[in-house]
């Protein structure tokens, strides 16, 4: 089967698997990256739904999740950002809103995966956001027709076979060499969590730890995730240094939280400003990264220029101090205590990592000093 193109438009690509396909193309013409996003995203939501017992959604970009979440409550910032009003929202829609709201700048033009069939409520929301495609285990009558009109008819709709199980061994060819490995089938479960220091995690913390582990299993390594209330509020993916992963994930978690700062949340834009533009302005203010030209542009897009506030250091640090109860999950062992020091300043209460570093004693001591619970899993979750 010919694909639209490979990694880049100048590369031809085709699907050559002789197995029964786990994915049916319902609408559109996928590229190779579309397939990689869909296959990784589907595995993530299927596995996370199984271990958490709740509907799960993920927003994928460039073969890593920008966010993943179980269904749950939507706060005022989410409802306002995604024009949801105050009524009840169904579980699969809530899961996707929570996943996309984590990093809305990165999720622009995402590939979506949901663990449950797409209903009319979710299809209606997706008709109003910029995305490239979706994979789901089914679609309610009429929803495919709604989605197929997106992107001038190029939006991808893929249906996953929820019962499909791949072969025990997987392979890839790189520069003429065929590499094979046993598929990573190790169950992600609560019995992997062994407390090394601190208190036993409660049910919500266990859920967040498992969600973080499954998410990192399908994130390009090295990777670290901050997880809170059933959402990966910050993911640092594909960094060569683990402290860079920790800082990147922490920065994203901080931006997510600062978007909830009353001064930022209260900004009112003119009717001509798109949802994505509003979100991008919120992110820039949370990052404290407005240039003078951007400040001028923003003044023309808000109802009153007086709404543009400088989130000074005191406001920023004071609000960040209120971010509490997060879990840091790492796909590999934490080699140095600087990761713990950084995480401790961003409301982290639990640190979940494989363990086994030569400096494990320093990691334990850092957690003891900062009052954090350290949990070892004995499980590395590299993904390349």
Query: Which residue numbers are catalytic?
Result: 61-62, 222, 384
Dihedral sign of CA atoms 375, 367, 228, 69 in order: negative
Q: Indicate the DSSP class of residue 31.
A: -
Grouping H, G, I as helix, E, B as strand and the rest as coil, residue 247 is: helix
Nearest to 116 by CA among 142, 98, 90: 90
> How many other β-carbons are positioned within 10 Å of the β-carbon of residue 103?
24
Measure the CA–CA gap between 78 and 171, rounded to whole angstroms.
41
Q: Do residues 227 and 331 make contact, with C-beta atoms less than 8 angstroms apart? A: no
Q: Do residues 84 and 60 make contact, with C-beta atoms less than 8 angstroms apart? A: no
SS percent in the chain: helix, strand, coil, step 5:
40, 20, 40
Nearest to 265 by CA among 59, 72, 94, 79: 79
Measure the CA–CA gap between 173 and 241, rounded to whole angstroms.
27
How far lies 250's CA from each of 127, 254, 328, in Å?
A: 31, 6, 9
How far lies 183's CA from each of 177, 188, 220, 378, in Å?
A: 18, 14, 16, 18
How far lies 307's CA from each of 79, 287, 290, 299, 369, in Å?
A: 20, 17, 14, 9, 41
Helix H or strand E encompassing 212: helix 203-217
Grouping H, G, I as helix, E, B as strand and the rest as coil, residue 329 is: strand
Q: What phi and psi, each to the nearest 5 degrees, are found at residue 30? A: -75, 150
> How many other β-carbons are positioned within 10 Å of the β-carbon of residue 272?
8
Q: Indicate the DSSP class of residue 21.
A: P
Q: Do residues 111 and 79 make contact, with C-beta atoms less than 8 angstroms apart? A: no
């Amino acid at each position: 089967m010919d694909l639209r193109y490979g990694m880049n438009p100048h590369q031809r690509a085709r699907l050559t698997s002789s197995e029964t396909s786990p994915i049916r193309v319902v609408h559109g013409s996928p590229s190779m990256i579309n397939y990689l996003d869909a296959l990784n995203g589907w595995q993530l939501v299927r596995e996370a739904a199984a271990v958490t017992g709740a509907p799960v959604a993920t927003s994928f970009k460039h073969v890593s999740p920008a966010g993943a979440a179980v269904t749950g409550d939507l706060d005022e910032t989410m409802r306002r950002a995604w024009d949801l009003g105050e009524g009840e929202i169904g579980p699969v829609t809530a899961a996707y809103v929570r996943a996309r709201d984590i990093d809305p700048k990165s999720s622009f033009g995402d590939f979506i995966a949901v663990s449950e069939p797409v209903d009319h409520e979710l299809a209606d929301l997706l008709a109003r956001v910029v995305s490239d495609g979706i994979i789901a285990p089914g679609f309610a009558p009429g929803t495919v027709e709604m989605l197929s009109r997106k992107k001038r008819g190029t939006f991808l709709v893929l249906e996953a076979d929820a019962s499909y199980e791949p072969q025990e061994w997987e392979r890839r060819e790189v520069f003429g060499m065929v590499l094979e490995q046993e598929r990573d089938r190790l169950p992600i479960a609560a019995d992997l969590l062994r407390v090394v220091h601190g208190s036993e995690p409660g049910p919500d913390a266990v859920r967040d730890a498992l969600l973080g582990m499954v998410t990192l299993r399908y994130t390009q390594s090295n990777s670290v995730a901050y997880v809170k209330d059933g959402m990966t509020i910050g993911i640092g993916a594909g960094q060569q240094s683990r402290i860079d992963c920790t800082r990147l994930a922490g920065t994203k978690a901080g931006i997510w939280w600062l978007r909830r700062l009353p001064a930022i949340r209260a900004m009112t834009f003119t009717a001509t400003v798109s949802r994505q533009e509003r979100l991008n302005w919120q992110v820039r203010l949370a990052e404290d990264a407005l240039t003078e030209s951007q400040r001028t542009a923003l003044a023309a897009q808000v109802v009153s220029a007086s709404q543009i506030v400088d989130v000074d250091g005191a406001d920023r640090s004071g609000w960040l101090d209120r971010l509490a109860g997060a879990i840091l999950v790492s796909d590999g062992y934490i080699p140095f205590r600087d990761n713990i020091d950084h995480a401790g300043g961003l409301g982290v209460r639990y640190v979940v990592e494989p363990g086994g570093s030569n400096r494990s004693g320093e990691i334990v001591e850092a957690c003891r000093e900062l009052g954090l619970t350290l949990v070892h899993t004995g499980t590395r979750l590299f993904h390349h």
